[in-house]
């Protein structure tokens, strides 16, 4: 490259959106439908589930039989990327942990998630224990948007009337699978509440929507759906918005920074194209950031200027701070009573069929807040790892002849054991509230750049006693439940030596909170509309604005807040304020 030149377009777009996931996708969809001309920058390639999904492929169609060698969740999972991406490093401060999952592709991380779609509750927005900062908005402020998201995208579930697990507008949930019925029965006996799952999968036709198909129960939402029966930001938001002619997507556009003028107003975005490695700059009247909690913070911190010497929208100094993932721990085993079970198609829907919302009162516990439990099990498509560790299982129960035998083995008898054990597995995973703390943060590593020359993030995150105690409680609940079911635990049993199996921060892929909203510009980066205090034509629509996450998965709240912000932008445009 002899002459490095930034290719500057003269067009001024109404809105430029960075990112095409749940947040960027919703804002883009809303504005494009309202007639606004939107340019969307996506850091990865285009992805249309109708063409690109690996749905209904058989394990032998992958040379590695679906192993996760090149893709974090295996060859058939829809999500590109993972915790490590060649040429795009990040660093961690000494003695801290954080694993950063990135999915650079149209739809972002909505390509991976389990479609579990939970609203945050009144106490998640306005806490009653005084432990964390409150949001500048309440559940009642967000409820109308949750309702609209439910109607627009579709979510199954049951009305339960629980105070902090608000009901939505639900489609019919799928019935439990066989192992899940055992879970349900045993949970009731030990006082753990189990209700129908809440997932964004169309178990019924979505009223008023002609473009999306209905679920045909392959259980493979993780691969994304060829008939658009589950929610992906690509199929449900971006692609429909493109059809209006108002939204254009530039793929492989890796954003460097947001450009501001001398007065500090955002004027555009600069990016490098992954394919041709040329530098580009586009102009915008309004910039919407939805690159994911950590990436959006990175972009703001890298957008330094005379007007914004501390990074864009960062006069408060909070950008990057308060990053928090959900807590996570799990345990699994098998149900001896299901050995030699009769075969039938048990794939079901690709989101959870049942789950346990948080059911206890913290007054009696030694940790704050709580967690929900996601359950799984049943006769699923075999893939790499099938039958693994059978020598830890087949010696624990009587063989076909009624007698116990030594574990392990080989030959016809072993071959029969694989058949006997098929579909007997049960697993459970807790997902809990981690406390947002200013001392957990990401920042720009002053010494490291990625392959595009963009300074990278350095994470500084440690769990506290609160999260570890929560994980301990999860494990005790899982043990009690598996015991009550008569299950034999086969996964690693955790204890104090490994923080009760508490996953490293970032492993649950629910990181939020890096560009928090608030009423006080000294303590927050965004106002209650997710508009930057320091830059009025800059908005953030991913999970960065979250003040404090509940135990609920972030997606449904991202969608509701993004819709709310898009509506606000539309109103402000009418008043010519942005």
Partner 1 sequence: MNRRDSLKALGLTVVSSGVLIEACKTKDTQPAAIEPPVAEAGREKFEMEHDKKLKNAAKFFTDHEMATITILGDIIIPKDEKSGSASDAKVPEFIEFIVKDIPTHQVPMRGGLRWLDMQCLKRYNASFVTATKQQQLEMVTDIAYPEKVKPGMQPGVSFFNRMRDLTASGFFTTEIGVKDLGYVGNQPNKWEGVPMDILKQYGLENV
Q: Which is nearer to partner 1, 171 or 558 (CB)?
A: 171
**56 forms part of the interface with partner 1 (CB under 8 A):** yes
**217 forms part of the interface with partner 1 (CB under 8 A):** yes
Q: Which is nearer to partner 1, 191 or 389 (CB)?
A: 389
| Footprint of partner 1 on 130-189 (CB under 8 A) | 174-178, 181-182, 184-185
| Count of other CB atoms within 10 angstroms of residue 258 | 26
**65 forms part of the interface with partner 1 (CB under 8 A):** yes
Structure tokens at 448: 């490291």
> Among candidates 570, 425, 18, 428, which has minimal Cα distance to 251?
18
Q: What is the dihedral of CA 134, 231, 170, 210, to 10 degrees?
A: 140
Q: Which is nearer to partner 1, 74 or 320 (CB)?
A: 74
> Backbone phi, then psi, for 537, in 5-degree steps?
-105, 25
Residues 461, 312: Cα–Cα separation, whole Å = 23
Shortest distance (Å) from residue 430 CB to partner 1: 22
| Footprint of partner 1 on 76-105 (CB under 8 A) | 78, 80, 86
| Count of other CB atoms within 10 angstroms of residue 159 | 12
Coil, helix or strand at residue 270: strand
**54 forms part of the interface with partner 1 (CB under 8 A):** yes
* H or E element, residue 513: none
Q: Near partner 1 by CB under 8 A, which window of 48-56, 89-97, 293-301, 534-542?
A: 48-56
| Footprint of partner 1 on 179-198 (CB under 8 A) | 181-182, 184-185
Which of 73, 83, 170, 386 binds partner 1 (CB under 8 A)? It is: 386
**385 forms part of the interface with partner 1 (CB under 8 A):** yes
Q: Near partner 1 by CB under 8 A, which window of 15-23, 58-66, 249-257, 565-573?
A: 58-66
Write each residue from 323 to 342 as x if it is in contact with partner 1 (CB under 8 A), else as -, in one continuous string.
--------------x---xx
> Among candidates 487, 382, 372, which has minimal Cα distance to 425?
487
Task: Answer yes or no: are the C-beta atoms of 548 and 518 closer than 8 Å.
Answer: no
Which of 134, 244, 273, 381 binds partner 1 (CB under 8 A)? It is: 381
Residues 377, 181: Cα–Cα separation, whole Å = 10
Q: Which is nearer to partner 1, 64 or 437 (CB)?
A: 64
Q: Which is nearer to partner 1, 62 or 164 (CB)?
A: 62
Shortest distance (Å) from residue 184 CB to partner 1: 5
> Among candidates 515, 542, 549, which has minimal Cα distance to 317?
515
Task: Answer yes or no: are the C-beta atoms of 193 and 163 closer than 8 Å.
Answer: no
Shortest distance (Å) from residue 70 CB to partner 1: 5
Task: Answer yes or no: are the C-beta atoms of 109 and 509 closer than 8 Å.
Answer: yes
Shortest distance (Å) from residue 226 CB to partner 1: 6
| Footprint of partner 1 on 337-376 (CB under 8 A) | 337, 341-349
Shortest distance (Å) from residue 228 CB to partner 1: 8
Which of 211, 261, 476, 498 binds partner 1 (CB under 8 A)? It is: 211
Query: Cα angle vertex 46, ends 45, 50, to 5°?
Result: 140
Task: Answer yes or no: are the C-beta atoms of 327 and 467 closer than 8 Å.
Answer: yes
**380 forms part of the interface with partner 1 (CB under 8 A):** yes
Q: Near partner 1 by CB under 8 A, which window of 60-68, 119-127, 138-146, 151-159?
A: 60-68
Total site size for partner 1, rule CB under 8 A? 84
Shortest distance (Å) from residue 498 CB to partner 1: 21
Q: Are strands 354-356 and 195-196 parallel, antiparallel or unpaired?
A: antiparallel
Q: Which is nearer to partner 1, 214 or 479 (CB)?
A: 214
Side-chain half-sphere CA neighbours of 534 within 13 A: 26
Task: Answer yes or no: are the C-beta atoms of 235 and 22 closer than 8 Å.
Answer: no
Task: Answer yes or no: are the C-beta atoms of 527 and 119 closer than 8 Å.
Answer: no
Shortest distance (Å) from residue 384 CB to partner 1: 5
């Amino acid at each position: 490259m002899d002459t490095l030149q930034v290719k500057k377009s003269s067009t001024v777009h109404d809105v430029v959106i960075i990112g095409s996931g749940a947040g960027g996708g919703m804002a883009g969809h809303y504005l494009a439908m309202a007639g606004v001309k939107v340019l969307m920058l996506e850091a990865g390639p285009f992805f249309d589930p109708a063409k690109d999904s690996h749905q209904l492929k058989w394990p032998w169609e992958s040379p590695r039989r679906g192993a996760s060698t090149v893709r974090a969740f295996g060859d058939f999972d829809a999500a590109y990327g993972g915790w490590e991406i060649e040429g795009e490093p990040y660093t961690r401060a000494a003695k801290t942990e954080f694993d950063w999952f990135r999915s650079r592709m149209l739809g972002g991380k909505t390509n991976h998630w389990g479609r579990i779609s939970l609203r945050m509750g009144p106490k998640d927005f306005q806490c009653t224990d005084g432990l964390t900062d409150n949001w500048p908005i309440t559940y009642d402020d967000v409820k109308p948007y949750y309702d609209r998201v439910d109607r627009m995208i579709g979510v199954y579930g049951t009305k339960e009337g629980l105070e902090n697990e608000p009901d939505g507008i639900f489609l019919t949930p799928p019935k439990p699978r066989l192992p899940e019925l055992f879970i349900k029965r045993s949970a009731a006996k030990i006082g753990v509440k189990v209700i129908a799952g809440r997932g964004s999968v169309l178990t019924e036709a979505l009223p008023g929507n002609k473009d999306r198909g209905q679920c045909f129960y392959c259980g493979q939402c993780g691969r994304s759906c060829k008939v658009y029966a589950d929610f992906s930001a690509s199929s449900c938001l971006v692609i429909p918005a493109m059809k209006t002619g108002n939204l254009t997507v530039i793929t492989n556009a890796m954003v460097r920074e947001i450009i501001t003028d001398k007065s500090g107003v955002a004027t555009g975005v600069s990016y490098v194209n992954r394919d041709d490695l040329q530098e580009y700059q586009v102009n915008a009247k309004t910039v919407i950031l939805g690159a994911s909690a950590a990436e959006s913070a990175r972009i703001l911190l890298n957008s330094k200027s005379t007007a914004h010497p501390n990074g864009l929208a960062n006069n408060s100094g909070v950008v990057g701070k308060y990053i928090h993932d959900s807590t996570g721990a799990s345990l699994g085993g098998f149900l001896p009573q299901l050995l030699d079970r009769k075969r039938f198609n048990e794939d079901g829907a690709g989101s959870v069929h049942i789950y346990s919302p948080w059911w206890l009162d913290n007054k009696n516990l030694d940790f704050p807040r709580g967690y929900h439990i996601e359950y799984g099990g049943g006769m699923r498509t075999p893939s790499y790892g099938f039958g693994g560790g059978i020598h830890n299982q087949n010696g624990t129960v009587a063989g076909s002849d009624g007698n116990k035998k030594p574990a392990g083995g080989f030959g016809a008898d072993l071959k029969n054991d694989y058949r006997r054990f098929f579909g007997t597995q049960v697993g459970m995973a807790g997902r809990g509230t981690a406390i947002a703390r200013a001392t957990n943060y990401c920042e720009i590593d002053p010494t490291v750049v990625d392959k595009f020359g963009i300074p990278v993030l350095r994470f500084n995150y440690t769990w506290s006693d609160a999260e570890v105690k929560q994980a301990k409680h999860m494990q005790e609940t899982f043990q009690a439940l598996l015991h009550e079911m008569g299950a034999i635990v086969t996964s690693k049993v955790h204890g104090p030596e490994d923080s009760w199996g508490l996953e490293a921060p970032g492993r649950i892929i629910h990181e939020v909170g890096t560009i928090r909203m608030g009423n006080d510009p000294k303590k927050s980066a965004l106002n209650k509309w997710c508009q930057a205090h320091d830059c009025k034509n800059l908005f953030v629509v991913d999970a960065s604005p979250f003040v404090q996450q509940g135990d609920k998965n972030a997606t449904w709240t991202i969608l509701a807040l993004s819709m709310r912000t898009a509506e606000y932008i539309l109103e402000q445009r009418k008043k010519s304020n942005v």
